[in-house]
Amino acid sequence: MLVIARQAAPSWSGVAGRLLGRTTQIDISQPTVVSKIQRLQRLETVVYTMDKVVSGEKENAVLPDFLTGDRLLMIVHGDVVAGVDFGGLKSGDVVVEGKTVRLRLPSAQVFATRLDNARTHVYSRQTGVLVPVDPNLETQVRQEGERQLLQAALQDGVLKTANQNARVTLTSLLQGLGFERVELE
C-alpha cells in the first residue's frame, strides 16, 4: 500500500501536528483508486440542449387534407446527456506505480435524451373537417423530436465532447488524490 504524507496547512492544528510529529496520510493504493472511481458510476460530462421544429401528419390517399388530414407542428426543447459509465471498471483497468496512475477510460455514451415538457409545445394543428383529432399524433411527434435531438447531438460530436470532459475531470480528481502523473487510455 502506497501512503503519501502531506503536511497540514499552516494553522493551529498544523503547527500542533508538526510539534507532535503527526502528518496527514492519504491512501492512494490501486484498490482505493478503483473504489473511488467506481463510486462515480456514471460521470455525466456534457448536456447538449437544443430546440427543434418537428412535424407529423396523417393523410388519406384519396380524400384531400382539408377533409381528412391531421397535421401537427411542434417546437420541442430537450437535452441529451452524455458521459462515461464506470460501473464495469475492474482493478486491472487502473495501474498505480508510485505517483503515476494509468486508467483505461471507458468509451463515452449517451445516458438520456429527454424533452422539457414545460418548454415543448404545439405550434399549430390542422385537422380535417371529417375526422376527429388523432390523440396519438402528438405522442408520435414527441418521440420523433427525441430521436431528432439525439441524432443532432451525435452529429455535433456530443460523445467526443463527453470523452474530453471526462478526461479533464478524472485528471483533476486523480491529481487531487496525490498523483503527479495521470495517463488515460
The pLDDT assigned to 154 comes to 96
User: Is pLDDT at 8 greater than 70 in this prediction?
Assistant: no
User: Is pLDDT at 39 greater than 90 in this prediction?
Assistant: no
Question: Is 20 a domain residue?
Answer: no
Question: Is 156 a domain residue?
Answer: yes
Domain residues for the domain of 92 are 29-184
Question: Is 129 a domain residue?
Answer: yes
Burial (CB count <10 Å: 0-12, 13-18, 19+), residue 103: buried
Query: Phi, psi at residue 41, to the nearest 5°?
Result: 55, -85
Query: Phi, psi at residue 137, to the nearest 5°?
Result: -60, -45
50-94: per-residue pLDDT in tens?
A: 999 998 887 777 777 777 678 888 999 999 999 999 887 887 888
Per the structure, how many domains does the chain have? 1
Question: Is 163 a domain residue?
Answer: yes
The pLDDT assigned to 27 comes to 46
The pLDDT assigned to 179 comes to 86
Question: Is 15 a domain residue?
Answer: no
119-164: per-residue pLDDT in tens?
A: 988 888 887 767 788 888 888 999 999 999 999 999 999 999 999 9
CA–CA distance from 36 to each of 27, 67, 111 (Å)? 11, 63, 21
Question: Is 13 a domain residue?
Answer: no
Question: Is 12 a domain residue?
Answer: no
Question: Is 94 a domain residue?
Answer: yes
